[in-house]
Amino acid sequence: MTDHDIRVLDDSQYRAAHTLFRGTLHYSPAPDDQWKFAQESYEPGRALGAFADGEMIGTAHSFSSRLAVPGGAVVPHAAVSRVGVRADWTRRGVLSALQREQLRAMRSAGDVVASLRASETVIYGRYGYGVASRYRYLRIDRHRAALRMRPVGRVRLVEGEAGERIARELFDELSPGRTGTISRWPAWWALNLRRVFAEENMKIAVRSGSSGDDGYVVYKVELGEHDPGADKPTTLTVMDLWARDAEAWADLWLFVLGIDLVVEVTAFGRPVDEPVQWLLGDRRACRITDESDETWLRLLDVPAALTARTYREGEPVVIGVRDAYLPENSGSYRVSADGVTRVEDAPELVLDVDALASVYLGDVSFSTLAATRRLDVVQAEALARADVLFAVNEVPWSGSFF
Protein backbone atom coordinates (compact mmCIF):
# COMPACT_ATOMS: atom_id res chain seq x y z
CA MET A 1 0.00 0.00 0.00
CA THR A 2 1.40 3.40 -1.00
CA ASP A 3 0.44 6.87 0.18
CA HIS A 4 0.70 8.64 -3.18
CA ASP A 5 -1.32 8.85 -6.36
CA ILE A 6 -0.47 9.27 -10.05
CA ARG A 7 -2.11 11.99 -12.16
CA VAL A 8 -1.89 13.32 -15.70
CA LEU A 9 -0.39 16.81 -15.50
CA ASP A 10 -1.81 19.93 -17.12
CA ASP A 11 0.16 22.87 -18.49
CA SER A 12 0.05 24.71 -15.17
CA GLN A 13 2.11 21.88 -13.60
CA TYR A 14 4.74 21.35 -16.29
CA ARG A 15 7.30 23.73 -14.85
CA ALA A 16 7.07 22.19 -11.39
CA ALA A 17 7.56 18.74 -12.97
CA HIS A 18 10.52 19.99 -14.99
CA THR A 19 12.11 21.53 -11.89
CA LEU A 20 11.58 18.30 -9.94
CA PHE A 21 13.19 16.25 -12.72
CA ARG A 22 16.20 18.56 -12.97
CA GLY A 23 16.56 18.35 -9.21
CA THR A 24 16.85 14.56 -9.35
CA LEU A 25 19.87 15.08 -11.64
CA HIS A 26 21.24 17.69 -9.22
CA TYR A 27 20.60 20.62 -11.56
CA SER A 28 19.05 23.89 -10.49
CA PRO A 29 15.69 24.95 -12.02
CA ALA A 30 15.82 26.03 -15.65
CA PRO A 31 16.06 29.82 -16.03
CA ASP A 32 13.31 31.56 -17.97
CA ASP A 33 15.25 31.68 -21.27
CA GLN A 34 15.75 27.88 -21.17
CA TRP A 35 12.31 27.06 -19.82
CA LYS A 36 10.58 28.55 -22.86
CA PHE A 37 12.17 25.81 -24.99
CA ALA A 38 11.30 23.04 -22.55
CA GLN A 39 7.75 24.28 -22.09
CA GLU A 40 6.78 23.76 -25.72
CA SER A 41 8.04 20.18 -25.62
CA TYR A 42 5.44 19.00 -23.12
CA GLU A 43 2.66 17.12 -24.92
CA PRO A 44 -0.85 17.10 -23.42
CA GLY A 45 -1.66 13.80 -21.76
CA ARG A 46 1.90 12.49 -21.84
CA ALA A 47 3.27 14.03 -18.61
CA LEU A 48 2.58 12.27 -15.32
CA GLY A 49 3.10 13.34 -11.73
CA ALA A 50 3.16 11.38 -8.49
CA PHE A 51 1.64 13.24 -5.53
CA ALA A 52 1.62 12.84 -1.77
CA ASP A 53 0.14 15.26 0.76
CA GLY A 54 -0.64 17.67 -2.06
CA GLU A 55 2.98 17.83 -3.25
CA MET A 56 4.51 16.51 -6.46
CA ILE A 57 7.10 13.88 -5.54
CA GLY A 58 7.83 12.26 -8.89
CA THR A 59 7.29 12.68 -12.61
CA ALA A 60 7.61 10.94 -15.98
CA HIS A 61 7.06 12.15 -19.54
CA SER A 62 7.14 10.84 -23.11
CA PHE A 63 7.30 12.30 -26.60
CA SER A 64 5.36 11.03 -29.63
CA SER A 65 7.70 9.40 -32.12
CA ARG A 66 8.17 6.47 -34.53
CA LEU A 67 10.79 3.70 -34.62
CA ALA A 68 12.23 1.75 -37.55
CA VAL A 69 12.35 -2.03 -37.01
CA PRO A 70 14.13 -4.80 -38.96
CA GLY A 71 12.70 -5.09 -42.45
CA GLY A 72 11.95 -1.38 -42.84
CA ALA A 73 8.59 -1.04 -41.08
CA VAL A 74 8.00 1.93 -38.79
CA VAL A 75 5.93 1.57 -35.61
CA PRO A 76 4.43 4.11 -33.16
CA HIS A 77 7.03 4.85 -30.51
CA ALA A 78 7.07 6.74 -27.21
CA ALA A 79 10.35 8.44 -26.31
CA VAL A 80 10.41 8.34 -22.51
CA SER A 81 12.25 11.09 -20.66
CA ARG A 82 12.19 13.34 -17.59
CA VAL A 83 11.71 10.45 -15.21
CA GLY A 84 12.57 11.21 -11.60
CA VAL A 85 11.54 10.83 -7.98
CA ARG A 86 12.31 13.38 -5.29
CA ALA A 87 15.23 12.30 -3.08
CA ASP A 88 13.12 12.08 0.07
CA TRP A 89 10.65 9.72 -1.64
CA THR A 90 12.95 7.20 -3.35
CA ARG A 91 12.64 3.47 -2.62
CA ARG A 92 9.04 3.82 -1.54
CA GLY A 93 7.33 2.52 -4.68
CA VAL A 94 6.89 5.90 -6.39
CA LEU A 95 8.85 5.04 -9.54
CA SER A 96 7.14 1.66 -9.84
CA ALA A 97 3.74 3.34 -9.65
CA LEU A 98 4.77 5.90 -12.26
CA GLN A 99 6.10 3.20 -14.56
CA ARG A 100 3.02 1.05 -14.21
CA GLU A 101 0.76 3.97 -15.09
CA GLN A 102 2.98 5.23 -17.92
CA LEU A 103 3.38 1.81 -19.57
CA ARG A 104 -0.37 1.28 -19.50
CA ALA A 105 -1.08 4.78 -20.84
CA MET A 106 1.41 4.51 -23.70
CA ARG A 107 0.03 1.15 -24.80
CA SER A 108 -3.54 2.46 -24.59
CA ALA A 109 -2.52 5.45 -26.75
CA GLY A 110 -1.41 3.05 -29.51
CA ASP A 111 2.34 3.11 -28.98
CA VAL A 112 3.80 -0.27 -29.93
CA VAL A 113 7.20 0.35 -28.32
CA ALA A 114 8.84 2.83 -25.97
CA SER A 115 12.49 3.67 -25.46
CA LEU A 116 14.62 5.78 -23.17
CA ARG A 117 18.22 6.77 -22.45
CA ALA A 118 19.05 5.50 -18.98
CA SER A 119 20.85 7.75 -16.51
CA GLU A 120 21.38 4.68 -14.29
CA THR A 121 21.49 1.28 -15.94
CA VAL A 122 20.27 -0.82 -13.01
CA ILE A 123 16.84 0.80 -12.86
CA TYR A 124 14.88 0.07 -15.99
CA GLY A 125 15.26 -3.66 -16.59
CA ARG A 126 12.76 -4.33 -13.82
CA TYR A 127 10.14 -2.40 -15.83
CA GLY A 128 10.72 -4.36 -19.03
CA TYR A 129 13.31 -2.17 -20.79
CA GLY A 130 16.28 -3.91 -22.40
CA VAL A 131 19.41 -2.58 -24.10
CA ALA A 132 18.69 -2.81 -27.84
CA SER A 133 21.40 -0.63 -29.45
CA ARG A 134 24.83 0.78 -28.63
CA TYR A 135 26.95 3.73 -29.68
CA ARG A 136 30.57 4.75 -29.43
CA TYR A 137 32.79 7.74 -28.78
CA LEU A 138 35.64 8.69 -31.11
CA ARG A 139 38.71 10.88 -30.67
CA ILE A 140 40.80 11.74 -33.73
CA ASP A 141 44.23 13.37 -33.71
CA ARG A 142 43.76 15.63 -36.70
CA HIS A 143 47.48 16.22 -37.26
CA ARG A 144 48.14 12.47 -37.47
CA ALA A 145 45.09 11.70 -39.60
CA ALA A 146 47.02 12.19 -42.88
CA LEU A 147 43.96 12.69 -45.08
CA ARG A 148 44.50 11.45 -48.63
CA MET A 149 41.18 12.62 -50.01
CA ARG A 150 39.18 15.79 -50.33
CA PRO A 151 35.38 16.12 -50.52
CA VAL A 152 34.06 15.43 -54.01
CA GLY A 153 30.84 17.38 -53.44
CA ARG A 154 30.24 20.87 -52.11
CA VAL A 155 30.11 21.36 -48.33
CA ARG A 156 28.94 24.79 -47.20
CA LEU A 157 28.23 26.47 -43.87
CA VAL A 158 24.59 27.52 -43.40
CA GLU A 159 23.66 29.93 -40.63
CA GLY A 160 20.71 30.12 -38.24
CA GLU A 161 17.18 29.21 -39.21
CA ALA A 162 18.15 28.25 -42.76
CA GLY A 163 20.62 25.68 -41.44
CA GLU A 164 18.10 24.24 -39.01
CA ARG A 165 15.45 24.01 -41.72
CA ILE A 166 17.75 22.11 -44.09
CA ALA A 167 18.92 19.79 -41.30
CA ARG A 168 15.35 19.03 -40.26
CA GLU A 169 14.25 18.33 -43.83
CA LEU A 170 17.17 15.98 -44.43
CA PHE A 171 16.73 14.21 -41.12
CA ASP A 172 13.00 13.69 -41.74
CA GLU A 173 13.90 12.15 -45.10
CA LEU A 174 16.51 9.81 -43.63
CA SER A 175 14.93 8.77 -40.31
CA PRO A 176 13.25 6.52 -39.35
CA GLY A 177 15.23 4.44 -41.85
CA ARG A 178 18.03 2.32 -40.49
CA THR A 179 16.83 -0.14 -37.83
CA GLY A 180 16.68 1.64 -34.48
CA THR A 181 16.37 5.16 -35.83
CA ILE A 182 13.46 7.28 -34.63
CA SER A 183 11.53 10.33 -35.75
CA ARG A 184 12.25 13.56 -33.91
CA TRP A 185 9.31 15.59 -32.60
CA PRO A 186 9.30 19.34 -33.46
CA ALA A 187 10.40 20.45 -29.99
CA TRP A 188 13.48 18.18 -30.20
CA TRP A 189 15.07 20.70 -32.54
CA ALA A 190 14.29 23.65 -30.30
CA LEU A 191 15.76 21.93 -27.24
CA ASN A 192 18.81 20.33 -28.83
CA LEU A 193 19.73 22.79 -31.55
CA ARG A 194 18.19 26.23 -31.34
CA ARG A 195 18.55 26.51 -27.55
CA VAL A 196 22.27 25.76 -27.52
CA PHE A 197 23.26 27.78 -30.59
CA ALA A 198 23.29 30.94 -28.51
CA GLU A 199 25.30 29.27 -25.76
CA GLU A 200 27.92 27.33 -27.69
CA ASN A 201 30.02 27.86 -30.79
CA MET A 202 27.91 25.57 -32.96
CA LYS A 203 27.85 25.38 -36.75
CA ILE A 204 25.83 23.57 -39.41
CA ALA A 205 27.48 22.41 -42.63
CA VAL A 206 25.40 21.01 -45.51
CA ARG A 207 26.72 18.75 -48.25
CA SER A 208 25.40 18.94 -51.81
CA GLY A 209 25.90 16.45 -54.60
CA SER A 210 24.50 16.01 -58.09
CA SER A 211 20.95 15.62 -56.73
CA GLY A 212 21.09 18.56 -54.31
CA ASP A 213 21.47 18.66 -50.53
CA ASP A 214 22.15 15.15 -49.26
CA GLY A 215 23.69 15.42 -45.79
CA TYR A 216 24.53 17.67 -42.89
CA VAL A 217 26.76 17.88 -39.84
CA VAL A 218 26.26 19.92 -36.67
CA TYR A 219 29.49 20.59 -34.79
CA LYS A 220 30.96 22.86 -32.16
CA VAL A 221 34.50 24.09 -31.50
CA GLU A 222 35.97 24.52 -28.03
CA LEU A 223 38.92 26.87 -28.14
CA GLY A 224 42.18 25.80 -26.57
CA GLU A 225 45.80 26.03 -27.58
CA HIS A 226 46.65 25.26 -31.19
CA ASP A 227 49.91 23.47 -30.33
CA PRO A 228 49.36 19.71 -30.91
CA GLY A 229 51.12 18.97 -27.62
CA ALA A 230 49.10 21.46 -25.58
CA ASP A 231 47.29 20.35 -22.46
CA LYS A 232 44.12 21.98 -23.75
CA PRO A 233 43.88 21.43 -27.50
CA THR A 234 41.32 23.19 -29.67
CA THR A 235 38.67 20.51 -30.15
CA LEU A 236 35.91 20.12 -32.72
CA THR A 237 33.02 17.90 -31.61
CA VAL A 238 30.65 16.30 -34.10
CA MET A 239 27.19 16.60 -32.54
CA ASP A 240 24.91 15.26 -35.28
CA LEU A 241 25.80 13.85 -38.72
CA TRP A 242 23.40 12.31 -41.23
CA ALA A 243 23.89 11.51 -44.90
CA ARG A 244 21.82 10.05 -47.71
CA ASP A 245 24.62 7.83 -49.02
CA ALA A 246 28.25 6.82 -48.48
CA GLU A 247 29.63 9.58 -50.71
CA ALA A 248 27.86 12.32 -48.72
CA TRP A 249 28.87 10.67 -45.44
CA ALA A 250 32.54 10.61 -46.42
CA ASP A 251 32.47 14.23 -47.60
CA LEU A 252 31.03 15.45 -44.30
CA TRP A 253 33.70 13.65 -42.28
CA LEU A 254 36.46 14.87 -44.60
CA PHE A 255 35.14 18.41 -44.19
CA VAL A 256 35.30 18.44 -40.38
CA LEU A 257 38.66 16.66 -40.39
CA GLY A 258 40.01 19.31 -42.74
CA ILE A 259 39.06 22.39 -40.70
CA ASP A 260 42.16 24.40 -39.84
CA LEU A 261 43.39 25.30 -36.33
CA VAL A 262 41.76 22.22 -34.80
CA VAL A 263 43.92 19.68 -32.97
CA GLU A 264 41.34 17.03 -32.05
CA VAL A 265 38.05 15.94 -33.58
CA THR A 266 35.71 14.08 -31.24
CA ALA A 267 32.30 12.52 -31.72
CA PHE A 268 29.83 10.81 -29.43
CA GLY A 269 26.76 8.73 -30.11
CA ARG A 270 28.09 7.32 -33.39
CA PRO A 271 27.26 3.85 -34.81
CA VAL A 272 29.51 1.01 -33.67
CA ASP A 273 30.06 0.01 -37.32
CA GLU A 274 30.87 3.49 -38.69
CA PRO A 275 34.16 3.11 -40.66
CA VAL A 276 35.74 6.49 -39.90
CA GLN A 277 39.21 4.94 -39.54
CA TRP A 278 39.21 3.94 -43.20
CA LEU A 279 39.06 7.60 -44.25
CA LEU A 280 42.43 8.25 -42.62
CA GLY A 281 45.94 7.71 -43.93
CA ASP A 282 46.93 6.76 -40.37
CA ARG A 283 44.01 4.82 -38.92
CA ARG A 284 45.66 4.87 -35.46
CA ALA A 285 44.89 8.58 -35.34
CA CYS A 286 41.30 7.55 -34.56
CA ARG A 287 40.68 6.00 -31.17
CA ILE A 288 37.45 4.51 -29.90
CA THR A 289 37.42 5.98 -26.41
CA ASP A 290 34.18 4.42 -25.19
CA GLU A 291 31.23 2.27 -26.17
CA SER A 292 27.96 2.51 -24.29
CA ASP A 293 24.34 1.42 -24.25
CA GLU A 294 22.09 3.68 -26.33
CA THR A 295 18.49 2.52 -26.81
CA TRP A 296 16.70 0.99 -23.85
CA LEU A 297 13.69 -0.55 -25.59
CA ARG A 298 10.33 -1.58 -24.13
CA LEU A 299 7.87 -3.67 -26.13
CA LEU A 300 4.46 -2.33 -25.10
CA ASP A 301 2.43 -4.50 -27.46
CA VAL A 302 4.43 -7.70 -27.97
CA PRO A 303 2.17 -9.24 -30.66
CA ALA A 304 2.17 -6.01 -32.70
CA ALA A 305 5.91 -5.51 -32.28
CA LEU A 306 6.82 -9.07 -33.27
CA THR A 307 4.48 -8.91 -36.27
CA ALA A 308 5.91 -5.58 -37.49
CA ARG A 309 9.45 -6.78 -38.10
CA THR A 310 10.65 -9.34 -40.64
CA TYR A 311 12.59 -12.57 -40.08
CA ARG A 312 15.22 -14.54 -41.97
CA GLU A 313 14.48 -17.83 -43.68
CA GLY A 314 14.72 -20.64 -41.15
CA GLU A 315 12.85 -23.18 -39.09
CA PRO A 316 10.18 -21.79 -36.73
CA VAL A 317 10.65 -21.38 -33.00
CA VAL A 318 8.13 -20.98 -30.17
CA ILE A 319 9.08 -18.26 -27.69
CA GLY A 320 7.50 -17.84 -24.28
CA VAL A 321 7.29 -14.26 -22.98
CA ARG A 322 6.86 -13.09 -19.38
CA ASP A 323 5.68 -9.54 -18.65
CA ALA A 324 4.86 -8.59 -15.07
CA TYR A 325 3.75 -5.01 -15.81
CA LEU A 326 1.70 -5.68 -18.96
CA PRO A 327 0.58 -9.28 -18.42
CA GLU A 328 -1.50 -9.34 -21.60
CA ASN A 329 1.83 -9.65 -23.43
CA SER A 330 2.67 -12.89 -21.61
CA GLY A 331 2.25 -16.08 -23.62
CA SER A 332 3.73 -18.19 -26.39
CA TYR A 333 4.55 -16.90 -29.88
CA ARG A 334 5.43 -19.01 -32.91
CA VAL A 335 7.97 -17.08 -35.00
CA SER A 336 8.79 -18.06 -38.58
CA ALA A 337 9.96 -16.43 -41.79
CA ASP A 338 6.28 -16.03 -42.69
CA GLY A 339 5.38 -14.09 -39.55
CA VAL A 340 4.28 -14.45 -35.95
CA THR A 341 1.28 -16.23 -34.43
CA ARG A 342 0.19 -16.40 -30.82
CA VAL A 343 -0.18 -20.05 -29.89
CA GLU A 344 -0.99 -22.34 -26.98
CA ASP A 345 2.06 -24.52 -27.69
CA ALA A 346 4.68 -25.10 -25.02
CA PRO A 347 7.56 -22.65 -25.51
CA GLU A 348 11.02 -23.81 -26.55
CA LEU A 349 12.70 -20.67 -25.16
CA VAL A 350 11.31 -18.55 -22.30
CA LEU A 351 12.41 -14.99 -21.55
CA ASP A 352 11.27 -11.84 -19.81
CA VAL A 353 10.08 -8.93 -21.91
CA ASP A 354 13.27 -6.91 -21.26
CA ALA A 355 15.39 -9.71 -22.76
CA LEU A 356 13.02 -9.93 -25.73
CA ALA A 357 13.50 -6.20 -26.28
CA SER A 358 17.27 -6.68 -26.40
CA VAL A 359 17.08 -9.28 -29.19
CA TYR A 360 14.24 -7.55 -31.03
CA LEU A 361 16.34 -5.13 -33.13
CA GLY A 362 19.09 -7.70 -33.67
CA ASP A 363 21.93 -6.23 -31.63
CA VAL A 364 22.32 -9.34 -29.47
CA SER A 365 21.52 -13.00 -30.11
CA PHE A 366 19.42 -15.49 -28.19
CA SER A 367 22.56 -17.61 -27.76
CA THR A 368 24.34 -14.73 -26.03
CA LEU A 369 21.44 -14.23 -23.64
CA ALA A 370 21.33 -17.96 -22.95
CA ALA A 371 25.06 -18.04 -22.22
CA THR A 372 24.60 -15.23 -19.70
CA ARG A 373 21.52 -16.90 -18.17
CA ARG A 374 19.12 -14.22 -19.33
CA LEU A 375 16.62 -16.73 -20.74
CA ASP A 376 15.42 -20.28 -20.05
CA VAL A 377 16.27 -22.90 -22.66
CA VAL A 378 13.65 -25.66 -22.86
CA GLN A 379 14.85 -27.08 -26.18
CA ALA A 380 18.59 -26.56 -26.77
CA GLU A 381 18.33 -26.74 -30.57
CA ALA A 382 15.84 -23.85 -30.53
CA LEU A 383 18.64 -21.36 -29.82
CA ALA A 384 20.19 -21.75 -33.26
CA ARG A 385 16.79 -21.45 -34.95
CA ALA A 386 15.98 -18.26 -33.05
CA ASP A 387 19.39 -16.77 -33.86
CA VAL A 388 18.84 -17.35 -37.58
CA LEU A 389 15.32 -15.93 -37.64
CA PHE A 390 16.18 -12.73 -35.72
CA ALA A 391 19.52 -12.03 -37.47
CA VAL A 392 19.96 -8.63 -39.19
CA ASN A 393 22.33 -7.27 -41.83
CA GLU A 394 23.20 -4.03 -40.02
CA VAL A 395 23.57 -3.35 -36.30
CA PRO A 396 20.80 -1.10 -34.97
CA TRP A 397 21.48 2.52 -34.07
CA SER A 398 19.26 5.43 -33.12
CA GLY A 399 21.49 8.52 -33.27
CA SER A 400 19.01 10.70 -31.37
CA PHE A 401 19.49 11.62 -27.72
CA PHE A 402 16.52 12.82 -25.68
Question: Which positions are annotated as active-site residues?
Answer: 124, 402
Q: Which SS3 state, helix, strand or coil, does residue 32 take?
A: helix
Burial of 88 (0-12, 13-18, 19+ CB in 10 A): exposed
Element (H, E) at 36: helix 32-39
Burial of 47 (0-12, 13-18, 19+ CB in 10 A): buried
Report the DSSP beta bridge partners of residue 333: 319, 342
Element (H, E) at 85: strand 74-85
Q: What DSSP line would sit under 293-320, residue for residue?
A: E--EEEESSHHHHHHHS---SS--EEEE
141 Cα distance to chain centroid: 27
Picking from 246, 287, 292, 242, the residue whose alpha carbon sits closest to that of residue 265 is: 287
In whole angstroms, give the CA distance from residue 388 to residue 365.
9
